[in-house]
Chain A
Amino acid sequence: MYLALLRVAFQRQLAYRTANLAGLATNIFFGALRAYVIIALYNARRLETVAGYSLPMAITYTGLTQALASFLALFVWWDLIRSIRSGEVASDLSRPCDFFWYWGAQDAGRALGQLILRGLPIMILYALVYRITLPPTVWHWLALGVSMWLALLVSFGWRFLISLPAFWIQDAVGVGRLGLPLMTFLSGFLMPLAFFPAWAVTLIRLTPFPSMVTAPVEIYLGLVNGPALLGTLAMQALWVVILYGVSQLVLSAGVRKLVIQGG
């Protein structure tokens, strides 16, 4: 049943051709901008590595983050909030499947569609214009595949969770607005987390956000190897479990509120 939901969402995404094209144009512009900034930052140190990032790696990073941005829906996801506000959620909840995975399957379909329409094209363009790096070993490629989907689940879990306040707050868009900038900064999307002071990174790693962007990026760039690689994947999986658990708690409270209201 979940596969059917995934497929429908995927096809729906493929149908949004103009929107995704416009989105790709945005990705290209911001990618180029950030690449210029990175190049200017490295400036005289073109042959050096900074915090483990060589210049080609840093440039590749700017492309990867753009590709991941649409895949992970880092910037906009109001679907669940809209459903709750419109009351559609009542019928969704009465379906014979887990509410979390009901939305998760659809999100996965959307993500796959956007990966194909925006993610891959931007990486191909980057490969043509810049000197980019590729994952060093087969294991990294495999781990990347796993990590990307785990990252999606972590991102989805977080977005699902921060959409739930819509059960209580009239205009829950406010909470969503708080959640999104947090995601972009702490996930390592704005700048590689490695660039920040060690104490800050240690604190940030206590949050789920690095598991969304930094994890797949660091695997791709070959910055994590061996046991650390498995550790990264394990951390991602752990966050999926945590976010799922917390979501279930909040969701049941929300459903109770809905029922009391006569939904």
Chain B
Amino acid sequence: MDTLRLYLRLISLRIRSQMQYRLSFALDVFGTAFVILTEFLALVGVFWRFGSIGGWTLGEVTFLYGLADVSFATMDMIFSGYDPGYFSEQVRRGTFDQFLLRPLALPLQVFTSEFLLRRLGRIGQGALIFGLSLYLAHIIWTPAKVVYLFIVYLSTIAFFGGLFVAGATISFWTVESVEVVNIFTYGGTAMMSYPMHIYGSWLRRFFTFIVPAALMIYYPALYFFDKPDPLGLPVFLRFLAPFAGLAVLTAAFAFWQLGVRKYTSTGT
């Protein structure tokens, strides 16, 4: 409980310091929201021209896109300290070493080292687009679906969070190749924004069974839309989102422990 209170206090300090620069804060919020808007407009334009993709309508694809985006954006805000780009810089500059000297839990320090409130812009935009999809797509809602939707949201945050943590951990070995993580984070989000059956089998299988991105949004979406799986995989796959998300996050933190141990043992 103490840890939680400490976490909340440190986060509120971060937020307050960011609010100091009102103009740049406003610009940042607006700017990050703008990215999503333009990408979404491109999507609308394309559907205007083509009508559907892989048999899915604009509303349905927007659902994938919006949910993936709002989950990623929320994760991006909470896990700001673990952003591979940001974290690798901390390691390179040596500021991370200071964390090791303090008598506070390491993850707590990393989590509170950065908390980008401006991500609210992207979260807001993502939520708006997701809301729009609910209007466009024809979903028959049940209480179970509503509950599961919220679970999917949290699970996807955990999933992406795991990717961030794993990406940040790579910094303990090499600071230069961290960019490759973008393929999984930004690439993953982009990929999850479309129905998985349009992708080639190698890509699909990798992102279903190895890095279970498909289990986070696409398969749950099949459940929400009451669609059959064009690939004919078992129905229970649609409900694995929380397990997959937790698994990825746990594995990532195990990797993190390994990285920290290796880093501290080399006598830096």
Binding site for B on A (CB under 8 A): 18-19, 22-23, 25-26, 29-30, 32-33, 36-37, 39-43, 50-51, 169-175, 177-178, 180-182, 184-186, 190-191, 195-197, 200
Main secondary structure of the interface of B (DSSP, over half): helix
- B46-75 Cβ-contact flags toward A at 8 Å (1 or 0): 101110011000000000000000000000
CB neighbours (8 Å) of A190 from chain B are 38-39, 42
B177-A178 in contact (CB<8A): no
Question: In angstroms, how far is the closest chain A Cβ from the Cβ of B93?
Answer: 15
Query: Within 8 Å CB of A39, what residues of B?
Result: 198
* B residues near A23, Cβ cutoff 8 Å: 179
- The one of A30, A170, A181 in contact with B34, judged by C-beta atoms closer than 8 angstroms, is A181
| B24 and A170 contacting across the interface, CB-CB below 8 Å | yes
B190 touches A30 (CB 8 A): yes
Partner of A174, one of B27, B38, B48, B191: B27
Contact B183 A171 (CB under 8 A): no
Q: Do residues B38 and A191 form an inter-chain contact, with CB atoms below 8 A?
A: no
Q: Assess the A197–B179 pair: CB atoms within 8 A.
A: no
Q: Which A residue sits closest to B204, measured CB to CB?
A: A36
Q: Are B24 and A41 in contact (CB under 8 A)?
A: no
Q: Report yes or no: A174 in contact with B39, Cβ–Cβ below 8 A.
A: no
Are B49 and A195 in touch, CB under 8 angstroms?
Answer: yes
Q: Which residues of B contact A26 (CB under 8 A)?
A: 179-180, 182-183, 187
Q: Which B residues are in CB contact (< 8 Å) with A174?
A: 23-24, 27-28, 30-31
Q: Which residue of A lies closest to B190 (CB)?
A: A33
Interface pair A191/B46, CB less than 8 Å apart: yes
Q: Whose C-beta in chain A lies nearest to the C-beta of B183? A: A29
- B38 adjacent to A169 (CB under 8 Å): no
**Cβ of B32 < 8 Å from any Cβ of A?**
yes
Of A169, A170, A191, A200, most buried by chain B (CB within 10 Å of CB) is: A191
Residue B200 at the chain A interface, CB threshold 8 Å: yes
B39 contacts A178, CB within 8 Å? Answer: no
By Cβ-Cβ distance, the 10 closest A-B pairs, closest first, are A174-B27, A177-B31, A171-B24, A40-B198, A185-B38, A190-B42, A22-B179, A181-B35, A196-B45, A178-B31
* Contact A36/B179 with A50-B49, A185-B39, A195-B49 known, Cβ cut-off 8 Å: no
Give CA–CA (A39, B41) in the complex, Å.
20
B41 & A25 in contact (Cβ 8 Å cutoff): no
Q: Check A18 against B38 for contact (C-beta < 8 Å).
A: no
With A37-B53, A40-B54, A50-B50 as known contacts, state yes or no: A22 contacts B21, CB within 8 Å: no
Q: Is the interface of A mostly helix, strand, loop or mixed?
A: helix
Distance between B174 CB and nearest chain A CB, rounded to angstroms = 8
Complex contact A170–B49 (CB within 8 A):
no
Q: Is B135 interfacial (CB 8 A cutoff)? A: no
Minimum distance in angstroms from B208 CB to a CB of chain A: 15
User: Given the interface contacts A18-B177, A22-B177, A195-B49, does A184 sit within 8 Å of B24 by beta carbon?
Assistant: no
Cα(A171)–Cα(B24), bound, Å: 6
Complex Cα spacing A26 to B21, Å: 34
B49 partner, pick from A19, A169, A173, A196, beta carbons under 8 A: A196
Q: Kindly provide the distance from the CB of B21 to the nearest chain A CB, expressed in whole angstroms.
A: 6
Known A-B contacts A26-B187, A41-B53; the reply to A19 vs B39 at CB < 8 A is no
Question: Which residues of B have CB within 8 Å of A175?
Answer: 27, 31
Is A184 a contact partner of B38 (Cβ separation < 8 A)? yes
Nearest to B197 among chain A residues (CB) is A40
CB distance from A42 to the nearest CB of B (A): 8
Chain B residues with Cβ below 8 Å from A184 are: 38
Chain B contacts for A196, CB-based, 8 A: 45, 48-49
Q: How far is the CB of A16 from chain B (nearest CB, A)?
A: 9
User: How distant is A5 from chain B, measured CB to nearest CB, in Å?
Assistant: 25
Chain A residues with CB below 8 A from B176, complex form:
18-19, 22
Asked if B144 CB lies within 8 Å of chain A CBs, one says no
The answer to whether A171 and B21 have CB atoms under 8 Å apart is yes
Q: How far is the CB of A137 from chain B (nearest CB, A)?
A: 28
Interchain CA distance A82-B257 in the complex, whole Å:
35
CA distance A178 to B203 in the complex (A): 32
B32 contacts A191, CB within 8 Å?
Answer: no
Contacts of A182 in B (CB 8 A): 34, 38
Q: Please report the C-alpha to C-alpha distance between residue A26 and residue B31 in the assembled complex, in whole angstroms.
A: 23
Of the candidates A30, A51, A177, the one whose C-beta lies within 8 Å of that of B187 is A30
B172 within 8 A of A: no
